[in-house]
Amino acid sequence: MAKLYFRYGAMNSGKSTALLQAAFNYEERGHEVLLAKPSIDTKGDREIVSRLGVAREVDFTIGAGDAVLDLFERQRTRVIERSGRDVSCLLVDEAQFLDSSQVDDLLRIALLDDVPVLAYGIRTDFQTAAFRGSRRLLEIAHSLEELKTICRCGRKAIFNGRLIDGRYVFDGDQVAIDGQHVEYESLCGVCYLQESGGVLHGTPTA
């Protein structure tokens, strides 16, 4: 039985690099893989872009409300028609941007189609609140693996700080793709609290 894997980490923990390496490993051994990402991730357009400079175009993007199972089956059929081989793995980047039903489809692909699914993403946003896709993956994935990185102080980074024009901000929309004026920094808990004035913004208020 195939499994659904969730590999998560703070910004700059090498998630996209690990995904591209996994795809390379499969293909080096003669297997077919499919790569996907949410269309809301406009960084690199239709590419998965590693901060090391490696990039690769995805086989399909996932829009809001799209049925991931249907998208996967269409691409899977094309792979079989082209190569005569079935898909050995589905790799999904930026999985935090999926909704709960789309993550459920990832589990269906693993269980019903017997194709391993490797989902990579960020657990929480810049306010320490869980993304919908990440929350669902933490609930149903067979395997959870944390990809680690360090804070500027040398401690393990677990949070993501958002900077606009070089200044930390703690209010705003949950999604803001890094690019012009918007940057992110991986922070440990201590450094995050120092920058936020001691507030964990994702904590519900009474």
Of 2, 3, 10, 4, nearest in space to 146 by CA? 10
Instruction: Tell me the β-bridge partners of 8.
Output: 121, 146
Distance (Å) of CA 112 to CA 75, 137, 141: 16, 17, 15
Other C-beta atoms lying within 10 Å of the C-beta of residue 176: 16
Query: DSSP E strands: which ranges in the chain?
Result: 4-8, 32-38, 47-49, 55-57, 60-62, 87-92, 117-121, 143-146, 159-164, 167-169, 182-187
What type of residue sits at position 38? P
**Token pair belonging to 176:** 């803001």
State the pLDDT at residue 178: 55
**Token pair belonging to 97:** 């941007």
State the pLDDT at residue 204: 45
Other C-beta atoms lying within 10 Å of the C-beta of residue 20: 21
State the pLDDT at residue 179: 58
Other C-beta atoms lying within 10 Å of the C-beta of residue 59: 21
**Token pair belonging to 63:** 């829009």
**pTM as predicted:** 0.91
State the pLDDT at residue 105: 98
Of 34, 94, 104, nearest in space to 69 by CA? 104
Q: pLDDT means per 10 residues in the chain (206 residues)? A: 96 93 96 96 80 88 96 97 97 97 98 98 94 97 97 96 91 72 92 91 50
What type of residue sits at position 157? A
Of 43, 143, 150, 56, nearest in space to 97 by CA? 43
For 144-179, give the DSSP string. EEEPP-B-TTSSBP-EEEEEETTEEE--S-S---SS
State the pLDDT at residue 67: 97
